[in-house]
Amino acid sequence: MIISTGSPIAVSAQSLIKTVTARSGSLTILSGLDLKIKSGESVAIIGTSGSGKSTLLGILAGLDQPTQGEVALAGNRIDHLDEDARARVRADHTGFVFQSFHLLPNLTALENVMLPLELAGKESPQTHARTLLERVGLSQRLTHYPRQLSGGEQQRVAIARAFAGQPDILFADEPTGNLDEKTGESIINLLFEVNRENKTTLVLVTHDLQLARRCQRVLKLTQGRLEEEVEHSGAAK
């Protein structure tokens, strides 16, 4: 098992390059990107559609590999690790909320949230999963399958699942993209509550500037690199 070193830097990337092969030839999505996120910080990543935000988040969370460059999570280098080793670092440190939910279609809401708890060998996975689903307002939907849930409900199950392993770093890709304003707000409040209470590092991709401004830092992805938004006035608590 890879042990957390308790690094004060939760996420770091250095000289990150991501190139993919498209029909039209080679496409550079990230071009020498640097990033450091401290433990417990909340950071928003903004940028136009297609600027590479989801690609970056996937690489930072160890779901995807960079073409070149270094990535470390909680002090553990992950860029050179194979999928199995990255999966262990992910299980030990991260939760991920996807732009498109990624729930397992043949498992109920409750089972989807229980799965990471069972895989991690946690005690009373069902009780824990039930509590998490209650917290996102879904106590009446425990035995529904994803196809029987609305988009917003699926996103809430995905968020409960991401919280399940009590990750020290939570990545969320447009977590409110599919929610109405009121539901979105309660989900966001929940993300920030967990960030404060558990000192969870929060890395959020969003189009919503108002949401971005609730984070301590706002970074803009342009031309494959990140720029700090200097006019950002700090977190509105």
Taking CB under 5 A as the rule, does residue 55 contact Mg ion? no
- Cα–Cα dist 101/106, whole Å: 14
Residues binding Mg ion: number (CB under 5 A) = 1
By CB under 6 A, the residues from 205 to 234 that bind ligand ATP are: none
d(CA 164, CA 51) in angstroms, rounded, equals 30
Within residues 74-133, the interface with ligand ATP by CB under 6 A covers 99
Which residue of the chain is nearest Mg ion when measured via CB? 54
Stretch that binds ligand ATP, among 21-29, 83-91, 104-112, 116-124 (CB under 6 A): 21-29
Give pairs for 78-87: CB < 8 Å, separation 24+.
85/2, 86/62, 87/62
Does 35 bind ligand ATP (CB under 6 A)? Our answer is no
Measured from the CB atom, the residue of 24 and 233 that comes closer to ligand ATP is: 24
Distance CA 91, CA 169 (A): 11
Pick the stretch among 22-30, 111-119, 150-158, 212-220 that binds ligand ATP (CB under 6 A): 22-30
Q: Binding to ligand ATP by residue 51, rule CB under 6 A? A: yes
Residue that the structure tokens 């309660």 belong to: 186
Q: How far apart are CA 56 and CA 70, in angstroms?
A: 13
* Eight-class DSSP state of 158: H
Determine the 3-state secondary structure of 71 from DSSP.
Answer: strand
Q: Binding residue for Mg ion (CB under 5 A) from 12, 54, 76, 94?
A: 54
d(CA 116, CA 184): 24
CA dist 237 and 3 (Å) reads 33
Give me the least distance between CB of 50 and Mg ion, in Å please: 8
Quote the least distance from Cβ 41 to Mg ion, whole Å: 21
State the nearest-atom distance from the C-beta of 182 to ligand ATP, in Å. Answer: 23
Q: Give residues in contact with ligand ATP (CB under 6 A).
A: 20, 22, 27, 29, 47, 49-55, 99
